[in-house]
């Protein structure tokens, strides 16, 4: 039977379906009030892993979660990400892995989240202009100082993961992956072998919006939605997979959380496995 929990870094016990906060509006007014309600409802429904990042509103998303949920429940892990620099007007955001920039970002994230320690701090992207050992060594310094619990990576290859693990214990990897997008299959396999949490981003789309006949058939058999089937497949794919579907809708939030209760039969799993993923790129 599929386990409903996973211990990130062998230490932080979370339920395997988390919540991605990226889509929550942060502007003042009714939209922000609705976002606060969604974040609080996620916790009420048993979500114990929430993913955010500095890039999501340039700190506003982290501040929203603090407003909604601080003081945090003891079993709640809010994971955030650093290493993206806010662009000037009209410019594109850039990766910045310089140690001085990462130190500033970590300190700011601690302040915005109103915590003294971030349980899981992820590199949003690796900076090809900065030696990897310098980037991750900076986060290791924060670990030793007690300000970071565990370190995660995003959008990495198997080789980058191997290199990173020579500098720091990697607790998680966040790559794009779903039933219809399996480009990073090898990275997931490497994470499973090493016991590293794999947080697929965009775990539902495009399965929910462009469901194939095969997905629709399994959904009908289980009285579920295509999005729920996509999440159930991910949970069944590997015990290290922790999907973090994002939504600003209370109904979709409840739907996503309920997907943890679905159980695919061997036949249903085989049929879904045979669905041809979208071409990479």
The catalytic residue positions are 56
Share of the chain residues as helix, strand and coil, in percent rounded to the nearest 5: 40, 15, 40
What is the rounded CA–CA span in Å between residue 111 and residue 235?
A: 34
- Those residues with Cβ within 8 angstroms of residue 26's Cβ, 6 or more apart along the chain or in another chain: 32, 35, 57, 60, 61, 63, 64
What is the rounded CA–CA span in Å between residue 182 and residue 275?
A: 11
CB 99 within 8 A of CB 57: no
What is the rounded CA–CA span in Å between residue 3 and residue 241?
A: 11
Structure token digits, residue 167: 């500098």
CA-CA-CA-CA dihedral for 235, 239, 241, 246, to nearest 10: 40
* Long-range Cβ contacts of 1-6 (<8 Å, 24+ apart): 1/263, 2/235, 2/236, 2/239, 2/263, 3/239, 4/260, 6/197, 6/239, 6/240, 6/242
What is the rounded CA–CA span in Å between residue 86 and residue 57?
A: 10
Residue with tokens 């997931």: 188
CB 178 within 8 A of CB 230: yes
What is the rounded CA–CA span in Å between residue 190 and residue 99?
A: 27
């Amino acid at each position: 039977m599929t386990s409903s929990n996973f211990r990130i870094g062998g230490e932080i016990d979370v339920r395997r379906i988390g919540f991605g906060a990226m889509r929550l509006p942060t502007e003042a007014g009714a939209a922000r009030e609705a976002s606060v309600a969604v974040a609080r409802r996620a916790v009420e429904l048993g979500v114990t892993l929430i993913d955010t990042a500095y890039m999501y509103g340039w700190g506003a998303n982290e501040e929203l979660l603090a407003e909604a949920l601080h003081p945090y429940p003891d079993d709640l892990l809010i994971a955030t990400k650093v290493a993206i620099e806010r662009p000037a007007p009209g410019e594109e955001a850039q990766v910045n892995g310089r140690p001085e920039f990462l130190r500033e970002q970590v300190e700011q994230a601690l302040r915005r989240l109103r915590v003294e320690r971030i349980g899981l701090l992820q590199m949003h992207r690796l900076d090809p202009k900065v030696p990897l050992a310098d980037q991750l060594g900076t986060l290791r310094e924060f670990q030793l100082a007690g300000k970071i619990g565990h370190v995660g990576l995003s959008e990495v290859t198997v080789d980058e993961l191997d290199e990173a693990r020579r500098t720091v214990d990697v607790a998680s990897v966040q790559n794009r992956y779903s039933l219809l997008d399996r480009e990073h299959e090898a990275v997931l396999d490497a994470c499973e072998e090493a016991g590293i949490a794999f947080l697929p981003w965009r775990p539902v789309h495009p399965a929910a919006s462009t469901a194939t006949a095969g997905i629709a058939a399994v959904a009908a058999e289980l009285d579920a939605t295509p999005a729920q089937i996509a999440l159930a497949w991910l949970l069944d794919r590997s015990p290290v997979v922790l999907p973090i579907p994002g939504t600003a809708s209370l109904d979709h939030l409840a739907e996503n959380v309920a997907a943890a209760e679905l159980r695919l039969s061997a036949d249903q799993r085989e049929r879904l496995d045979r669905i041809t993923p979208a071409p990479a790129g």
